A and B are shown apart, each in its own frame.
Chain A
């Protein structure tokens, strides 16, 4: 009876993915405990975040991809409306207009777009019966660039780039011609100076400082310098859990959020870093398998996009912490502290599990 109930309860959960996620989250909590100065306050708050996010994951995993396909358009439209609302009535915090106060709660509509955009584009390409034509890609590009532009204007470069990449993955997987891809890359390269002139001063500064962090050792370059010191001084086996001096002594800024990987790297060293990459690779690998095995165009494209976007998040964050990418506000998935990012992340994994588990039911049914 009880086993029956549990079986029903977890029948849409992918156990391999779940195991990987749980392991990564556990590692995240351990690092968070260390990074937060060995206080349980942050850890407890993160546990709540995880519980909420898992509830969402469970709920979403129980929704069939067909249902998800149906809510793709309304969700996208809602997201766009909220973004416009942010642009008009949003609250300014840290010089950026990102939050929308709904009276009851404050929301960050750009987070909704992280899942709404790939869903929308996957829906669009799934609707095309035949091989997508050029005009389809142009329409898809517009659907993608509209929210990206709104988010970039807030300004939130990190999220807009990630939303752009999630949309790009869908377009690419939908069969964007290689020639067009090549041409686009060339065009993008040519556009770079224009793009550069459109950036805010602080965004330009970040890129300049990436090239030479010592330009501003106590200002913008401080993050990068301290993070690389933390990583480098970790050595091959690390200083041990709770023993990272850079992290324990407040040298690392934002060490529970965007720079938590520096804490991890300092305390667990090269071995720990490589193992984390392996863990991430397993998660991505499982996601790619789910995408390959997916039965519908919508699920396939969506699964591929969610999986690869997970990679993008991880790569951008770790690249930023280790000093090979500019400092953009991107958390490390599954490890960084934060409710919103945890929620949208596990929501994505819920979608993956839904795609994986409903396929069997469809097949058998």
Chain B
């Protein structure tokens, strides 16, 4: 009984204790679940907005769709810049553990040349760690397939199919067309300033020079956007909304690539520039900068070797000479000075001088020599132009004074940008006393005015300015802003909208005066003129002017002897012309650096361009230019009397 009651009691106690403990644990369960419920409330109600935002940004990604860049074609539809798809192998350095090993492994699958490697290293140094940098471009189908199969072995390496810019004409007109290159930090800053950064979200490239740069806004197009739902790997699962990109507009140039080619070929391996303009419209017909380069090298980042070669070459192939090469105009300045003399009434016919071969200022013994020792005898305006008489223009400049002279020729675009639709144009220099005071803090000397008359001294022009001045002359004083893009073709509608012809300035000129200058310039290409051979058997009348610009100063007791001077220190040859003289269809300026004589070095290039443009005549390859016999009027003087050399400055023409 006792025992049983103990058992029972134990049993009851055990029951009681068990229930108590179970109740405690049950309470623990409720407490635990309450804790979870509180956590749910915190996450799902209190922090809902925060997590909702996170989930949305997790989920929706805006993917830019890069528009196709506009094409560039010449006036006949010859394509100068277009796009095509190529496979590129790109590496995102931040995602690759060991770059060296990865590249070594990759090169077992696809060929990676040392040039590729150099370019890759250069681009990698320029870009951020998380940007993908091309290692190899233009993979062929086999290489692309081989990589695709092995793709899993290469995290951080991607095979991309990209639209590539290509310049099918290569070196032809490279400075004019320009090139695109990868967007760098400076470009980004500019885009941000221009408030168009968002339009470049998917773009890797931007116009860096030439038309590619100047017409960037037209060529780039409008980036499209896709709102896509992405998964955690960033893979697009579903497109939510899409705004199609709008391709860049196509550009039609006024340049004829055949003409361009003839001009570039005519230069051969000489350095220089040529710009040809249609005077009536301001359209540029040819735009030559020699030597030229292959813009395709730049599209995906130029490799170190090619860059070194181009950048360090003494020939400076990367300089855009028509816009950025500045040269003294030399005697090509004379027609414009002549008009100044005529328009001011200072040198109206029958004014003439008796040229003794030098000019002196009043009360000075300093002799300004003519290029022809002993002088040209009796010289009037027309003859002064034809034979390029220095003495005549020394006197003219002095009598006009520097202000009147520069004020007048400014109408022909000297000292100011032509406004052509390619960026980077230099202003040149038309010196004035104020300029000299600003620049050198020195007064202007009369002697400086004298030499401005023959296009020497401080005066500097770009080939573009010289061509424009010639076009204005051919156009009887009407200045039209030169342009190289003749029409912009809307990518959507296909409608070609011509670029406007902008009249910038018109100087009132007396027809009689114009006629005198024209006749003088016509005489240049006729027997007895300084470029008689250029006009020989042309079949059309060429109004022209030769010029020679000094590269190094010749000491007073020294004679310019071409053969004794290093090639790069020889004079620059210049030539301006318009033709046919009575109804000008083409106006041009040619500069051959260190070419020597304008008539013999630059003239034949101009002749070939005009022959093709006016007559459709291609130059015969076997007929090499008419050279040595040409420069009849411009042969440098023989030995001069020693007494005369002491105080003289010579300007060779």
Contact = CB atoms under 8 A, between A and B. Distances in A.
Given A249-B229, A270-B44, A315-B36, A232 B21 contact: no
Given A232-B44, A308-B29, 6 more contacts: A169-B25, A175-B21, A233-B56, A235-B52, A236-B44, A311-B32
Given A245-B58, A280-B33, A288 B40 contact: no
A276 to B, nearest CB: 10
A96 interface: no
Interface string A255-284: 000000000010001100110010011001
Q: Name the residue among B22, B48, B232 with the largest chain A CB count within 10 angstroms.
A: B22
Nearest to B238: A249
A230 B37 CA distance: 16
A290 to B, nearest CB: 11
A37 B40 CA distance: 25
Contacts of B52: 232-233, 235
B30 interface: yes
Name the 3 nearest CB pairs between A and B, nearest first: A232-B51, A233-B55, A250-B231
B252 to A, nearest CB: 47
A229 B25 contact: no
B22 A250 contact: no
B435 interface: no
B480 to A, nearest CB: 61
Contact of A284 (B29, B229, B230): B29
Interface stretch (B11-19, B190-198, B486-494): B11-19
B45 interface: yes
B43 interface: yes
B77 interface: no
A270 B40 contact: yes
A324 interface: yes
A231 B45 CA distance: 10
22 contacts: A131-B13, A131-B14, A172-B21, A229-B54, A231-B43, A232-B50, A232-B52, A233-B52, A236-B48, A245-B55, A249-B230, A250-B232, A251-B59, A265-B40, A273-B40, A281-B30, A288-B22, A297-B14, A311-B29, A315-B36, A318-B36, A322-B39
A251 B58 contact: yes
Nearest to B50: A232
Contacts of A173: 18, 21-22, 25
Contacts, number: 127
Interface in B526-574: none
A130 B10 contact: yes
A228 B51 contact: yes
Interface string B182-223: 000000000000000000000000000000000000000000
B237 interface: yes
A121 interface: no
Task: State which size class the interface on B falls in.
Answer: 35 or more
A264 to B, nearest CB: 11
A279 B229 CA distance: 35
A278 to B, nearest CB: 9
A131 B10 contact: yes
A17 B29 CA distance: 18
Interface string B211-251: 00000000000000000011111000100000000000000
Interface string B602-617: 0000000000000000
A246 interface: yes
Interface string B23-43: 001100110110111011101
Interface residues of A, number: 45
Given A288-B22, A291-B22, A231 B36 contact: no
Nearest to B54: A229
A235 B32 CA distance: 21
Q: Name the residue among A130, A232, A280, A300 with the largest chain B CB count within 10 angstroms.
A: A232
Interface in B29-85: 29-30, 32-33, 35-37, 39-41, 43-45, 47-48, 50-52, 54-56, 58-59
Contacts of B44: 231-232, 234-236, 265, 269-270, 273
A142 B32 CA distance: 28
A308 B50 CA distance: 35
Contact of A281 (B22, B33, B41, B58): B33
A292 interface: yes
Contact of B26 (A130, A228, A229, A288): A288
A169 B231 CA distance: 43
A228 B232 CA distance: 15
Contacts of A231: 40, 43-44, 51
Given A231-B40, A250-B231, A172 B17 contact: no
A85 interface: no
| Chain B interface SS verdict (over half) | helix
B281 to A, nearest CB: 59
Nearest to A239: B55
B22 A304 contact: yes
B14 A235 contact: no
A319 B36 contact: yes
A274 B233 CA distance: 32
Contacts of A233: 48, 51-52, 54-56
A336 interface: no
Nearest to B35: A324
A175 B13 CA distance: 10
A139 to B, nearest CB: 19
Nearest to B60: A245
B25 A277 contact: no
Contacts of A175: 14, 17-18, 21
B58 A229 contact: yes
A250 B29 CA distance: 33
Contacts of A356: none
A232 B237 CA distance: 23
A297 B10 CA distance: 12
Interface string A289-327: 001100001001000100010010001001100111000
B37 to A, nearest CB: 6
Interface string B104-131: 0000000000000000000000000000
Q: Name the residue among B30, B44, B51, B231 with the largest chain A CB count within 10 angstroms.
A: B44
A253 to B, nearest CB: 8
B63 to A, nearest CB: 15
B40 A229 contact: no
B51 A277 contact: no
A159 interface: no
Contacts of B47: 232
Contacts of B25: 169, 172-173, 304, 308
Contacts of A291: 18, 22
A226 interface: yes
B232 A226 contact: yes
Q: Name the residue among A236, A249, A322 with the largest chain B CB count within 10 angstroms.
A: A249
Interface in A220-250: 226, 228-236, 245-246, 249-250
A322 B40 contact: yes
B130 to A, nearest CB: 14
A229 to B, nearest CB: 5
Contacts of B45: 235-236, 270
B33 A322 contact: no
A324 B233 CA distance: 26
A251 B231 contact: yes
A140 to B, nearest CB: 15
A173 B21 CA distance: 6
Contact of B58 (A246, A304, A322): A246
A281 B31 CA distance: 11
Nearest to B237: A249
B235 to A, nearest CB: 8
A229 B33 contact: no
A21 to B, nearest CB: 17
B55 to A, nearest CB: 4
A232 B18 CA distance: 40
Nearest to B47: A232
A291 B229 CA distance: 51
Nearest to A245: B59
Interface string A160-190: 0000000001001101000000000000000
